[in-house]
Structure 1
């Protein structure tokens, strides 16, 4: 399979998808769908673990619960790193959100909205880099930029009818939503989300992509070719 590459020293360049970038192949669509479905199952499982973890740290400081959000941003990061076409990050995150909704979660239909917003943020990161850079800094940027729109949604846009969602429990006086926090605490929550996005989505997503490439699962995609060129596989 032919690919186009950026001009950089061997082993340090990012290999882009075959041109044209908007020319999605069947294998691209199937892979994004599979990845999204797999991450959707992970998302659902993480939702079960998130509530006790977030409540535990909220005893000390409610915004610290944002440190556990990163796993929900993984689909957009990995989807973008693997397929490397415009829309890959967004589509993978949305598919994951849809799949995670099927068994039912405590956030209901807002799960899909979160998936769209998170996917848009990750997509923006790759777009800002011209869909040409997919090294670790790009993955971290995607994890971080997956956060702001979700933060706005959680802290300013969620309807009052959702204030009884068991997210913060009674630690803030009866199941308050993040929208009831002081501005300084909302900003602290944004910082916690960004750290989680950088580490648990960006770094972990990059490592996961490399692991899949080493296992031979991405031989038809740029990450597989990058490792072949560097002699890593």
Structure 2
């Protein structure tokens, strides 16, 4: 291959990569809708989580962090749909802004928490160059967001906690993040894609491909019989 042909190949590939990572207008719109809707869910969770977390924390101090995943799904969900750099951070932060504007017991620190938690998920997707969007990635992103939540909470709300409390809090937050933010977000995206609502996104195209493959396999099996 000559140098000129190599340059032509490189030039041809670079726009494709840039296009994959570049935000479109529809990406901004859908990410905003998802983030605002998630923020409203956060508002409900602000109220509903306390009757769950308080008894858990009383029985096993630190276990109250198991409800943390209910505030972490916005970043993972937005990233799994939009699949662009910054989507996880955008989703979690905008949802936190909505929660703070409606009103909660944490006030302006809600924004700081949203930033930190969104950054945890964002770093996971960035680590894999925004190319992996499967279930293991969703679980890992949710777990990382949970870890960031735990560290942030221990610094802000539980300074000087015992080692046992800190470890229980961290483990509970990580598991909650993986399950509530990771698994449930992945299932939600699969469900949305199956309805055709995500046809303009890669998640929707993948769903159509899976559906087409399943139909082909079923037809082949019928023909074999």
Which of 190, 207, 221 aligns to 1:210? It is 190
Q: Report the Cα offset of residue 18 of structure 1.
A: 7.2
Q: Is the 8 A contact 1:77 1:139 kept in 2?
A: yes
Does 1:201 pair with 2:181? yes
Structure 2 gap ranges (5+) = 1-15, 215-225
Provide the alpha-carbon RMSD of the alignment: 1.6
Rg bigger for which structure?
2
TM-score, length-normalised on structure 1? Answer: 0.81
The aligned residue for residue 165 of structure 2 is 185
Count of residue pairs the alignment pairs up = 198
The aligned residue for residue 139 of structure 1 is 138
TM-superposition CA deviations, 1:42-101 (whole Å, max 9, x none): 000000011121111112012111111112110111111011111011001111000111
The aligned residue for residue 49 of structure 2 is 50
Q: 1 or 2 for the larger relative contact order (CA 8 Å, sep ≥6)?
A: 1
Query: Relative to structure 2, which stretch is displaced further, 92-101 or 143-152?
Result: 143-152
Q: Is the 8 A contact 2:87 2:122 kept in 1?
A: yes
Aligned partner of residue 105 in structure 1, secondary structure: coil
Structure 1 gap ranges (5+) = 1-16, 159-176
> Of Structure 1 and Structure 2, which has the larger fraction of its residues in helix?
2
TM-score, length-normalised on structure 2? Answer: 0.84
